[in-house]
Structure 1
């Protein structure tokens, strides 16, 4: 477990990240979600992270109060990403410790975090799966070796 405390985002993040533009429509976003099977995308303007958009954000355009009529599907599909994205982005830098990433994910119920450099340029993404792989790798190295069956005396309880 101690090895995990030394793990950083840089050695565990996904470097090849797909992002979206603020001008993208919800319709295009839906198609991208279906194609990639991702849960969220960083939103970039001029190579700078300006937001984060999730599947839930894309679904919110179809939610309406009980006393309103159902929104027109085509109208809602034309909504742009910048209208639905979260601009209050929780991001981390490559040297961030994975323990800190885990704390942020739990506290804010996030599945992934964009990884940015000091200029807010996107350099990667760290997801729950990345943290879980690192944890499994680190605990596997520290697991005690198994004792061969021949050396263990079995007791039968009746």
Structure 2
């Protein structure tokens, strides 16, 4: 597993990332979640990532408490993604080691991390499946070298 210690995000990230706009409605967001198997989307405005919106954020719209009045369903569905997205989010850079990504995913129970450049522009995304693929690749490489 020594090979895994040297692996970076840039070798395993997905470069073509599905995103949403902060102005997208909750109704449209729900439809995007239905159409894809994604758990979250980076929220991009003027080519900069301004937040992340997850299925959890979507569902939180429908949480009602005694302190919160129950809005009409249509009013909820017209709200913008910007009103429910997470503005402070965990991200990584292209040169981040996969060991650090794995640590962040476990520590914060994340399924994926957006990959940003120095100007907060989205350059990719790395998911749990990508880290698993890297682990398997490194283990197979080391097994073949040892054989």
| TM-score (normalizing by structure 2) | 0.93
Tell me, what secondary structure is at the counterpart of 1:130? helix
Structure 2: gaps spanning 5 or more residues: none
C-alpha deviations, 1:76-133, integer Å up to 9, x for none?
1111111100000111000000000001111111100000100000000000000001
Cα distance change, pair 68–86 in 1 and its aligned pair in 2 (3 A): closer
What displacement does 1:22 show? 0.5
Question: What does 1:5-154 correspond to in 2, within 5 Å?
Answer: 5-66=5-66, 70-143=70-143, 144-145=146-147
Instruction: For 1:78 and 1:32, locate their aligned partners in 2 and report how far apart those are by CA, in whole Å.
Output: 15
Tell me how many residue pairs correspond in the alignment: 145
What displacement does 1:64 show? 0.4
Greater fraction helix: 2
| TM-score (normalizing by structure 1) | 0.87
What displacement does 1:45 show? 1.0
Instruction: For 1:21 and 1:68, locate their aligned partners in 2 and report how far apart those are by CA, in whole Å.
Output: 27
Higher alpha-carbon deviation: 73-82 or 1-10: 73-82
Structure 1: gaps spanning 5 or more residues: 146-158
Instruction: For 2:114 and 2:26, locate their aligned partners in 1 and report how far apart those are by CA, in whole Å.
Output: 21
What displacement does 1:66 show? 4.7
- After superposing on structure 2, the runs of 4+ consecutive aligned residues of structure 1 that deviate more than 4 Å are 66-70
Higher Cα Rg, which structure:
1
Tell me, what secondary structure is at the counterpart of 2:59? helix
